Amino acid sequence: MTTVVVSRLIIESLLLFIQTVESLGKLQLRNVRDKINESIRIIGIYISQQKYKIFLIIKYLCVMKKIAIFASGNGSNAEAIVKYFDGREDIKVEIVLSNRSNAAIHEKMGKLGIPSVTFQKEQWNESTTIVELLKEKSIDLIVLAGFLAIIQPAIIKEYTGRIINIHPSLLPRHGGAGMWGIHVHKAVIDAQETESGITIHHVNEAVDGGAIISQHRCEVMASDTPEVLAERVHELEYYHYPRVIESILLQS
């Protein structure tokens, strides 16, 4: 029986008890009724508390937006995203998937209490297992964070408009095959660019070819090495990527 039904039975029993003491004196009857009223008040508080707990459970199940992060490296962006949403009741990182079992991201996620899974090349190529896992986890958004593999068409088809990536340059400059990590920053410096930054974009079949969501810029100094520029770009990534993810999920 539900809490409400049980409580009603209790109240009905108490009211029946009142009828049995009608023969008592007025003072005695008043004392009995006072105790019964206090019992009813306590039961009412209990019912309200249970209703609120049920409300929170329903709110969690209906409103919580879930993120799956795909990553191949040390997981610094993933770590920033997890920490940004830590403790939230509306958005959470549900799982991390990687194509490298020895990637440092697994250790970082373990410390943060986020499950991480390594998939095999065969699983990636056929993609069915991965799509089923994402569906099982009720994933709302796939976030690529240093993921060095081309997203399979089956995943793009299933999650069209719900896969985003971050690239460490101002696309369309210095994007495409082979342009990742330190290679991008070296290309920026070799091209004598005066500014660089990050591009957050949707993912489609073309490498770095999806619609741009936002871009954020930083200056390139004449004295910059690729490593120094990388640190400046990382600061943009850690700040802006979680906030763009938040904006997308709250609008969906």
Report the catalytic residues. 167
Give the tokens for residue 196: 């660089």
Region label for 55, one of left (φ > 0), alpha (ψ between -120 and 50) or beta (otherwise): alpha
Cα distance between residue 213 and residue 127, in whole Å? 26
- Residue among 196, 210, 244 at smallest CA distance from 77: 244
Q: Are 106 and 116 in contact (CB under 8 A)?
A: yes
DSSP 1: -
User: Angle at Cα 112 formed by Cα 56 and Cα 149, nearest 5°?
Assistant: 105
Give the tokens for residue 79: 């770590």
Q: Are 64 and 90 in contact (CB under 8 A)?
A: yes
Helix, strand, coil percent values for the chain (each to nearest 5): 50, 15, 30
- Residue among 127, 170, 155, 166 at smallest CA distance from 248: 166
- Residue among 235, 201, 244 at smallest CA distance from 217: 235
